[in-house]
Chain A
Amino acid sequence: MLAANARVQIELACTQLLNAYTLAIDAMDWNALDRIFVPDAIFQRTNMVPLRGCGQIKDFFQTLATKRLALGTAHRTCHQLTTTLIMPADALQATGVAYVLVMRTPDLHTLPAPMTDPEILIEYHDAFRATEDGWRICDHSARHIFRSVAFKEPLTAEEAARLKPAV
């Protein structure tokens, strides 16, 4: 059984990873994902086949951003991490459940954007692993629990299939 202070260190480290992940997505800082996921991470989103490897995860987000810029549908997002439950299994592994409210504005440059309702409530299920570089996400699953009719699917099946092979 883990000592209380060891458990707390894991809870804080894993919670911080989820904060860093949501902030990286909002900042479109795909390189930050290297410090959040293990190189062979599995990444699953609603209505998509799993992505395998940090390289494929970064390619997905870059492809999405490029597509949106080309279509004139780029937007600023605000992923608000709310309920976050971290469950350490032992000194090297943990799992987590978290809820994220996503707000979106079509204007990338003007702040403040007009107040809007959350577009999606996403539930994350994560597995975390201790590595030589600190804790990292090794399996990430994002499931849409509530979704507004304003939501558009990010990539078509064909576009998703064109992603580079897993690293």
Chain B
Amino acid sequence: MPDRIARAVMESSCRQAMNLYLVGCDQKNIDMLLRAFAPDAVWERPGMAPMNGHSDIRSFFEAIYEKHAKTTTHGHLTRHCLTTISVTPSTEGHAECIAYATVYRDPAFNGTLPAAMPEPELVVEYRDVFRQVDDTWLIWRHRAAHIFRSTRWGQQLSSDELSTLRLASPGQN
């Protein structure tokens, strides 16, 4: 495959992986979002220890959804709007990506659409490293930093809950 076509394939595959991850999050579909990640992916999120591999990521989301289910019938209604996305090749079989997403959330969703339009809760900056796996590209290193954050935002899991999952940051507990 000529270099320019290979690069176009790489860029498009990385973009699709980011979109798959965000739509999977919003649909609360853990299997779907995990398809965007390499099995040995490492995910760094503000206020907690890195998640290592599909198992950690799955446990994290299961814990969040279980917690939401105790307080609301329908869980949070969330949409991650991906805006800027820049993908560049790095070392052989790897690519780097910087992306922004604006996050809208209704933590008290009553199950009826549409919900009232909230102010954006976050602007998140993602920094990802993708790894080529066969003919596709998967997220291998994923880091999310909050650039703008509403006062309405709250950590999804408490330090104790993160500790149970062995995901508390070193300074916690």
Contact = CB atoms under 8 A, between A and B. Distances in A.
Interface string A134-154: 000000000111111100000
Nearest to B119: A117
Nearest to B83: A82
B76 interface: no
A35 to B, nearest CB: 22
B79 A146 contact: yes
Interface stretch (B8-16, B44-52, B55-63, B139-147): B8-16
B117 A146 contact: yes
Interface in A106-134: 117-121, 123
B9 A5 contact: yes
A79 to B, nearest CB: 12
Most buried by A among B8, B12, B77, B83: B12
Given A5-B1, A118-B117, A120-B117, A83 B19 contact: yes
Interface in A79-116: 80, 82-86, 97, 99, 101
B71 to A, nearest CB: 20
B23 A147 contact: no
Contacts of A120: 114, 117
A83 B36 CA distance: 14
B77 A145 contact: yes
A11 B12 contact: yes
B114 A145 contact: yes
Interface size class of B (residues with CB under 8 A): 20 to 34
A84 B77 contact: no
Contacts of A71: none
Interface size class of A (residues with CB under 8 A): 20 to 34
A5 B8 CA distance: 8
A86 to B, nearest CB: 7
Given A82-B81, A86-B16, A4 B114 contact: no
Contacts of B9: 4-5, 8
Interface in B74-115: 77, 79-83, 101-102, 104, 106, 113-115
A119 B22 CA distance: 22
Nearest to A149: B116
Given A4-B136, A5-B1, A144 B119 contact: no
Contacts of A70: none
B171 interface: no
Given A5-B1, A5-B9, A8-B9, A147 B115 contact: yes
Contacts of A101: 81, 102
B23 A85 contact: yes
5 contacts: A82-B102, A83-B82, A83-B101, A145-B115, A149-B116
